[in-house]
């Protein structure tokens, strides 16, 4: 597995995240050597949704008010229906997502998380995938929706559903690794 040692990656979520869409990337990104923080608008813990029921609580490492875009090499947005719908109603979250997108660092969204990208107005003219049920939302926001397990448009990485997690995480690692090589070339 490629190493992204010393990379710092944020996973932004709140109650109702699709459990596997947070826990699998968290584990795999740590396994690849990254320091990964679960960030949320609230402190303490956030509760996962596992297909049809509430499940595990995950500890929040830092609140959104404690972090800046410059603290991280990549941002991951897990889906589920509840999590991104709640987050997109928070102007501070939307601003953070937009600022992260504008940083040109890897920004990865899976399942319903592209709702956050739509709210941040960053999908227009870009190739995007998502959970099938929000395909029309992506198109209405000006995105070019594609039915593929992972779609990359510049540093924007999107996937459709939990079945795509292996390809999603592999692409995050690849993009973080490439971004870090680019930084070294510039320095």
pLDDT digits (tens, 9 = 90+) for 31-88: 999 999 999 999 999 999 998 999 999 999 999 999 999 999 999 999 999 999 999 9
User: Rounded mean pLDDT of 167-183?
Assistant: 86
pLDDT at position 184: 41
For residue 114, the domain's CATH number is 3.40.50.880
pLDDT at position 180: 63
Which residues constitute the domain of residue 165?
A: 8-186
SS3 103: coil
Whether residue 2 is contained in a domain is answered as: no
Assign 179 a pLDDT band (cuts: 50, 70, 90).
Answer: confident
pLDDT tens, residue by residue, 3-35 = 699 899 999 999 999 999 999 999 999 999 999
| Total domain count, the chain | 1
Whether residue 45 is contained in a domain is answered as: yes
Largest pairwise CA distance in the chain: 48
pLDDT at position 119: 98
User: Rounded mean pLDDT of 123-149?
Assistant: 98
pLDDT at position 186: 40
Whether residue 82 is contained in a domain is answered as: yes
Spell 146-180 as b/e; 16+ CB within 10 A means b. beebbbbeebbbbbbbbebbeebbebbbebbbebb
Whether residue 1 is contained in a domain is answered as: no
User: Rounded mean pLDDT of 148-154?
Assistant: 97
Query: Does the structure show a pLDDT above 80 at 159?
Result: yes
Catalytic residue among 111, 117, 141, 157: 111
Whether residue 3 is contained in a domain is answered as: no
Assign 176 a pLDDT band (cuts: 50, 70, 90).
Answer: very high
Whether residue 53 is contained in a domain is answered as: yes
User: Rounded mean pLDDT of 111-138?
Assistant: 98
SS3 112: coil
Tokens of 145: 């929706």
- Is 75 annotated in the active site? no
Whether residue 90 is contained in a domain is answered as: yes
């Amino acid at each position: 597995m490629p190493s992204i040692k010393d990379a710092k990656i944020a996973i932004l979520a709140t109650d109702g995240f699709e459990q596997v869409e947070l826990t699998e990337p968290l584990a795999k990104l740590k396994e690849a050597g990254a320091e990964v923080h679960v960030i949320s608008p609230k402190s303490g813990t956030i509760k996962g949704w596992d297909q049809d029921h509430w499940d595990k609580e995950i500890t929040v490492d830092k609140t959104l008010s404690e972090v800046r875009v410059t603290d991280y090499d990549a941002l991951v947005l897990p889906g589920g229906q509840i999590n991104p719908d709640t987050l997109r109603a928070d102007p501070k979250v939307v601003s953070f997502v937009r600022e992260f997108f504008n940083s040109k660092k890897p920004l990865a969204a899976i399942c319903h998380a592209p709702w956050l990208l739509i709210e941040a107005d960053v999908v227009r003219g870009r190739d995007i995938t998502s959970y099938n049920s929000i395909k029309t939302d992506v198109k209405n926001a000006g995105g070019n929706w594609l039915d593929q397990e992972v779609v990359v448009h510049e540093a924007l990485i999107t996937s459709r559903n939990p079945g795509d997690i292996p390809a999603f995480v592999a692409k995050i690692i690849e993009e973080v690794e490439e971004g870090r090589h680019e930084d070294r070339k510039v320095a």
